[in-house]
Amino acid sequence: MIALVDCNNFYASCERVFRPDLENKPIVVLSNNDGCVIARSNEAKKLGIKMGEPAFKKREVFERNKIKTFSTNFILYGDMSKRVMSILRNNSKEIEIYSIDEAFIECYNEDLNTYGTNLRKKVKQWTGIPVSVGIAETKVLAKIANHIAKKYRKSGVFILDNKEIIERALKFTAIEEIWGIGRNHAKRFKEYGINTAHDLTCIEESWIKRKFSIVVLRIAQELKGIKCLDIESQHKTKKNICTSRSFGNPTSDYNTIKEAISTFAVRCCEKLRKQKTSTSELRIFIYTNPFNPRHKQYYGTKKIQLERATNDNQIIVQEVIKGLQEIYKKGYVYKKAGVIVGSITQENQVQLNLFDQIKNREKYTKISKVIDRINSSMGRDKLRIATQGFDRKWKMKQEQLSQCYTTRIDEILTVKV
DNA sequence: TCTGGGGTCCTAGGACCC
DNA sequence: TCTGGGGTCCTAGGACCC
């Protein structure tokens, strides 16, 4: 049997672990630049705060209801996630970490209710994070079980293990609540009169395949208890890597954008090196604020093909700056920029190039390794390329950032006795 | 005034090969 | 009116996920 373990209101819960005074109080966590609401505690959900709502439209509601807002603190959430996942790993046969706050695991062969309950208790006790556990035969069913556990079970555990319960659950689950059925598919299904998960299990498979796709067919089969989606415990190397940010203060200044783009490129290189891969295709983009009708709009993008795949900071930064020079236009106010790298290959399987123009590749590789080693012990960007700049004028707005309680010794929790 | 940042998979159609 | 049979690779766009 497969369990889906999902942290409840994960970001909000992380913040609350270190702020017990906020227990039972409404909290929201905002996106980068303190832009949108991306996590809400149950109390905030009850007050009608929606996912993705722009924060500035809700200021008054926040104040009136004394809702505590936080800027995103991904260092904290990432570290808390690791702790939760390591508990799950040590208490299951196999684990697929599906996202920062959820994992599919293969259960031990014991009483499932006891298993789920103990797991939940352990995670809560060891990390302070509340989780919900849904157990079933397939991933799609486990998702549904989890949803029910989270919403309707005080115990936080729900098991779909016999025909009658599964049928009841499927009749109770609206088509758009199924994992893998989004807005568009849901709308089309409803036009055909298919409104619940149970309805989807009653129609002919060839029809689903014809009218929708193999992807939707697999979901339908999973609902019937036929395993189509495996637990993927090997974490796959990424096929694309993107680093992009909205600027705290929109800017027209070329140098500021150059510094930002250089930093994004370096960030991509670090991610490439971490998974031991190289890239031969870069894309960069810069754009103005589409929400601002008073400014002229522009979306500039450039694809760069490298002659030989690499993951070295210097080579890639040079290339993205060349690209930026081509797409940068004066007179626009830029809001966002980013770098995407693709055509990713293993770094030890790079196709060589007979006409390679770049000398000293080995030297660059050595330098990158040294940079990684120094920065991993001394802190990010301690050693950097000059074009990354020093004043980070483009940096994000994060006015309500909490401490890095678990990863910085000088920000550790203080207890007053 | 202020609106996030990542990813994956599949399909259709075009261009090409023998 | 009739016009083979088999492939691959690439791209854009759509749909979905957190």
Predicted pLDDT at A120: 96
Task: Return the closest nucleotide (C1') to the Cα of A291.
Answer: B3
Helix (H) or strand (E) holding A277: strand A277-288
Task: Return the closest nucleotide (C1') to the Cα of A213.
Answer: B10
For residues A343-369, average pLDDT: 86
- Which tokens sit at A406? 């678990």
Answering whether pTM is above 0.85, one says: yes
- Asked if residue A406 lies in contact with residue A80, where contact means CB atoms within 8 angstroms, the answer is yes
CA distances to A351, A365, A366 from A356, in Å: 11, 16, 18
Q: Judge if the beta carbon of A56 is closer than 7 A to nucleic acid strand B.
A: yes
For chain A, state the CA radius of gyration. Answer: 24
- Which tokens sit at A6? 């999902």
Dump pLDDT digits (tens) for A306-329.
Answer: 888 999 999 999 999 999 998 999
Q: Judge if the beta carbon of A61 is closer than 7 A to nucleic acid strand C.
A: no
CA distances to A132, A134, A144, A211 from A152, in Å: 11, 12, 12, 34
Helix (H) or strand (E) holding A124: helix A112-127
Dump pLDDT digits (tens) for A236-290.
Answer: 889 899 999 999 889 999 999 999 999 999 999 999 999 999 998 999 999 888 8
Q: Judge if the beta carbon of A102 is closer than 7 A to nucleic acid strand C.
A: yes
Dump pLDDT digits (tens) for A386-407.
Answer: 988 888 888 888 888 899 999 8
Q: Judge if the beta carbon of A384 is closer than 7 A to nucleic acid strand B.
A: no
Q: Judge if the beta carbon of A215 is closer than 7 A to nucleic acid strand B.
A: yes
Q: Judge if the beta carbon of A222 is closer than 7 A to nucleic acid strand C.
A: no
Predicted pLDDT at A38: 92
Predicted pLDDT at A307: 84
What residue is closest to B9 (Cα–C1')?
A215
For residues A342-361, average pLDDT: 84
Task: Return the closest nucleotide (C1') to the Cα of A6.
Answer: C18
In angstroms, how far is B13 C1' from A210 CA?
Answer: 18
